[in-house]
Chains A and B, each alone.
Chain A
Amino acid sequence: MDRRIVITGIGVVTPIGIGCEMFWNNLLAGQSGIAPVQSFDTSEYNVHRGAEVKEFNAEDYILNLDAAHLGRASQFAIAAARLALADAGVEIGSLDRKRAGVSMGTTSGEPREVERFDDAYVSKQLDRIGPEFIQLYPCHVIAAHVASELQFAGVNTMIPTACAAGNYAIAHALDVMRAGRADLMLAGGSDAFSRITFTGFARLGAVAPEICQPFDRFRKGMIPGEGAGVLVLEPLDRARRRGARIYAEVAGYGLSCDAHHMTAAHPEGAGAERAMRQALADSRTNCEDVSYISAHGTGTATNDRLETIAVKRLFKDEAYRIPISSIKSMLGHTMGAASAIEAAVCALAVFSNRIPPTINLNDPDPECDLDYVANSARELPVNIAMNNAYAFGGNNASLILRKRELLN
């Protein structure tokens, strides 16, 4: 069983475009998807902006299941899955479906279903909520619906590790494939814009009023978003045999837990450093070989500072060489989808030797003095990319993607 696992397809649903090509072009151009929130009334809040997906027509992508009977995160996931498979040139009909699996991550699952429940409860009309609640709400439905739509009968896992979930899901898919338990895996994450999430972050004082400006001296916080990212993972030998385009190899990962605080990272970034260190060891990568880092970079005062500390502690002098960008500056924080979309970005970076910018970075925080690719995309050789993600509950995950030409 070939233990070298590669990415052959990418599908994304994002606030700056649906589909890999549109998304990547807009990303490199520094386009922002942040705008006034449309999906619910924010007049009672003191913040009003979010990064919602625009012009998403679920029926375009959901061909077997009934889109009207799916939650939004499931719709995004299915769309991203179909886009990824098309991008990979995979003939779904010719797959051994029992050896095709799904590994997805999320933060909230299908929050609109519980919001509907609560609306009904509060207005004393709970009998409006019927059997569909238990069928549509529990978060595992995201991976389940993708599998049902595509008739994938293999491994099916949902890893709801919040803002790091995408990385966890991709790491798990890597392990599943290396163990020979699947010939093809769809791996990624999905989250829908959520009143609950918006309320929570607003209440924590973590939401920026206008823009997301990671690593900037005047950064005011994160901006909640939504979306989905799905990668097609295959063993290298199968990908080669069918002449697939290979974006990158999934070379390894590291996971750790802060065990410190539910919503704030360890004050010295210790957990984040451990995850990165493990990822480097796992993929046998040296610090000097890392070409690019996709940061967690939420734009909050603490995250960006601690993330910088962790990178410096691990990479030492190399930290000043490695370009690091945060696409949350453009996409906002797409929660469980974030690190999946960021992994896609790393794959695209490795494939095309181009990296996206961190936009809105006009006055860097002196404590964030690394090269954060301010405002313009850049061309440079990208051999090895690292994708970092940190979540509530202290869940940290780092993923390493490697150029196919480096595969022996």
Chain B
Amino acid sequence: MIGNRVVITGAGVISPLGDSPARLHDSLGRGLSAIKPIKLFSTEGLGCPLGGEIADFDATKYLGQRNLRPLDRTSRLVASAAQLALADSGWSIEMRNVQEIGLVLGTMFCSLHTISEFDRRALEAGPAYASPMDFSNTVINAAAGQTAIAHNLRDVNTTISTGVTSGLEAISYATELIRSGRARALLAGGADELCFESFYGFDRAGLLCRSNVTAGDFPIPFDSRRNGSALGEGAALLMLEDVALARERGAKILGEVVGHGSSYDCSRGQDSVQAVEAIASAIRHAMSDAFLLPHEIDCLSASANGSRGGDQHEAEGVVAGLNGQTQKLPVTAIKSMLGETLGASGPMQAVSLLETMRDGVLPGIPQLHQVEDDFPLTMARSKNQEADVINGLINSIGFDGHCCSLILSRGEEN
């Protein structure tokens, strides 16, 4: 790693398990699951009725009484998380008159629901009655644009869309901009909404878990009974700054981004050897970027989401990437409780990891009771673990090829 050090001075999260890092972490620590029967839309005829929905999401709680009609659900999630992150990191109006803030957002779909509704209305009523306001939200950078308008974020504004890894890639992208001095303060993270259109797509592709009982049993990352993931939704943004700026303004430092790495599995998940090697590659790049050796990683926040093939590839990829030094590596997989939140997933893992660094509690993986004989991550547990985490590794692994790894270090104040 060369260049400015990149620290984290705050975080904002909107999730079904809490709208603050502390509340989210507390829920995860208590093994609460967000995966419940979906109310946002009908799942009749679909194989999976469950999802991690944010019940009664009301953006006015975070954004006040301004007109939110131009913002669709995804934009509201992002703008709300941005509000929380800005507040949490103590960026006052005075400070912002002197230093512009930017936004790098990862999202897989942005607003597929809006895109679809816009198109359907034009189909049904004729193109003359298509909604201009909805059209402005059909571009995949819409949520980032809306959030910039809502919070006057005039520095770099980028959207990254690489599937499940989008959010972690956004944090990596932002990190590089700050390292090179191109930006000094960036909100970075990701979001995706739960909507019928994408849910249908995942369900039809056989990626979603099946459960004969009501919510609670599936998905179970790493478990030998796992049969798919559950989709979730949310938004999580970290406030990233160069360390000099953070110190100048007396900001609290929650942690530091010390390394990132990514690679691509050309077989798109179809060939196990290539998939495992791609995951290992991303981890090695991150380790090398951070100048860390495998034994110096104190915990893993896995991307595992209950996928039959994906979870196994990750386990093997982690072992390969860390040169086999995994027997004493505590492992968590919070998608067990949040579901697969796509663009928000990696950033939510980061938010949770920062909390673990603060209170030494690594959430368990509820219901993880049985694993295959050759399952190598011996410290993936169903119960919470105590963990003194100085360096934590986060993985984001897509179901169709993208791999990204991020390493965070504990803030000096902790």
Contact = CB atoms under 8 A, between A and B. Distances in A.
Direct contact of A and B (CB under 8 A): yes
Interface of A: 44-46, 97-98, 101-102, 106-109, 114-115, 117-119, 121-122, 126, 129-131, 133-135, 137-141, 143-144, 147-148, 151-162, 168, 172, 175, 178-179, 181, 195-196, 199-204, 255-263, 271, 274, 282, 391-395
A160 B266 CA distance: 21
Given A152-B266, A199-B130, A392-B145, A161 B158 contact: yes
B128 interface: yes
A131 B204 contact: yes
B119 A395 contact: no
Interface stretch (B146-154, B239-247, B317-325, B364-372): B146-154
A203 B149 contact: no
Contact of A130 (B149, B204, B285): B204
Contacts of B207: 134
Contact of B176 (A102, A140, A179, A393): A179
B169 interface: yes
A101 B401 CA distance: 13
Nearest to B1: A179
B91 to A, nearest CB: 15
A195 B142 CA distance: 19
Interface in B262-302: 262-268, 274, 278, 281, 285
B197 A117 contact: yes
Given A117-B197, A122-B124, A140-B402, A196 B115 contact: yes
Given A118-B120, A160-B161, A262 B130 contact: no
B157 A98 contact: no
A129 B196 CA distance: 13
B62 interface: no
7 contacts: A107-B140, A114-B116, A144-B401, A158-B161, A161-B159, A259-B152, A262-B136
The 8 closest A-B pairs by CB, nearest first: A393-B145, A257-B157, A200-B135, A160-B140, A134-B201, A156-B264, A262-B136, A131-B205
A45 B123 CA distance: 12
Contact of A118 (B119, B144, B176): B119
A148 B131 CA distance: 37
Interface of B: 2, 70, 102-103, 108-110, 112, 115-116, 118-120, 122-124, 126-128, 130-132, 135-142, 144-146, 148-149, 151-163, 166, 169, 173, 176-177, 180, 182, 197-198, 200-202, 204-207, 262-268, 274, 278, 281, 285, 398, 400-402
B307 to A, nearest CB: 13
A199 B136 CA distance: 12
A98 B115 contact: no
A401 to B, nearest CB: 18
A66 to B, nearest CB: 13
A158 to B, nearest CB: 5
A162 B137 CA distance: 11
Given A154-B264, A203-B128, A392-B136, A162 B141 contact: yes
Contact of A147 (B156, B200, B266): B266
Contacts of B206: 131
A121 B102 CA distance: 38
A159 B169 CA distance: 11
B161 A138 contact: yes
Given A153-B274, A200-B135, A201-B135, 6 more contacts: A118-B123, A133-B201, A137-B201, A161-B158, A168-B158, A394-B148
Contacts of A147: 264, 266, 401
B157 A394 contact: yes
A54 B364 CA distance: 56
Contact of A140 (B142, B163, B281): B163
A162 B115 CA distance: 14
Contacts of B136: 262-263, 392
B201 A199 contact: no
A148 B266 contact: yes
A400 B81 CA distance: 35
Nearest to B268: A148
Given A179-B176, A196-B115, A394-B145, A148 B156 contact: no
A274 B278 CA distance: 39
